[in-house]
Each structure stands twice: as structure tokens, then as C-alpha cells.
Amino acid sequence: MAIVTYNATSVTPITGGVQIPIPQTPQGVGLVTVIASVPSIPNTVELKASVGIQGNTGTGSVLFRLFRDGQEIYYSRQGIESGEEQFALVGIQALDNAAPGQHAYTLSVEKVDAGLTVSVIGPVNLSATVFS
């Protein structure tokens, strides 16, 4: 496998760089978008993200979703609490087999539990590496 293209976006590279309240599901908030240029088939797009979150009150979980051109392709759930484990740096890695062309990949987050108050505090980044 060889790297064909690479692109990355960083909303903030530090903790405390943003303060984004995470809404209750099914409403999510888009955090970051990266464009991947896929030249041919066969190909694999490897997506990697890091998101720093802070539990403000309660305990529960958040749901991270990855979209390709507005269509959901991946989701993952992460537990968080406001006591002992108040801060978390969530790492996400996903693979996608996309058709040739330009594709916008967006990472969003929403909270699953109503009793949880949680925020994205940074860092926030997303990268796309295309292999063929």
C-alpha cells in the first residue's frame, strides 16, 4: 500500500482551545471537516481524530459519528463522568472505501444521557490518508 493523498484539519491543538457544549441526541454538533481526494479504485481512506472532552455534571456517554458527504459511515460511544474521570482525550480511527472524487468527512458528537452535561474543550483534529 502506498499513500496517495493526505489532508488534516485542526480546530484547536490544545485543551481549553474551544468550549463547545455537546447537545442531546439526536441533535449533534459538527466539530471538524476534512476533504479527501480519492483518485482511483482500489483505495482505502483512513480517518483519524482526537477530541478532548470534559464532563461537567453527571455521568453518561457521548456518541461520535463520522459522515462522508453527509452520509453516516461510522459511530462510536465513549463514557464520561464529571467526578473521577472528568477529562478524556478520545481517539477515533476508521476506514472507508470511497469512490473516486473529492469527499468531505465530518466528525460530529452528541450526548446520549439526559443527566450528563459535557463539552468539547480540545484538542480537536481530523485527518484523512488515502491509500491505494
Per-residue pLDDT of 27-63, as tens digits, reads 999 999 999 999 988 889 999 999 999 999 999 999 9
**CA neighbours within 13 Å on the CB side: how many for 48?**
7
Per-residue pLDDT of 53-72, as tens digits, reads 999 999 999 999 999 999 99
Question: What's the chain's average pLDDT?
Answer: 96
Rg of the chain (C-alpha set): 15
The pTM for the full model equals: 0.95
Check: CB of residue 108 under 8 Å from CB of residue 43: no
Structural domains present in the chain: 3-124 (2.60.120.1340)
Check: CB of residue 53 under 8 Å from CB of residue 119: yes
pLDDT at residue 31 in the model: 98
pLDDT at residue 42 in the model: 80
Check: CB of residue 37 under 8 Å from CB of residue 5: yes
pLDDT at residue 1 in the model: 77
Note the helical H segments in 6-63: none
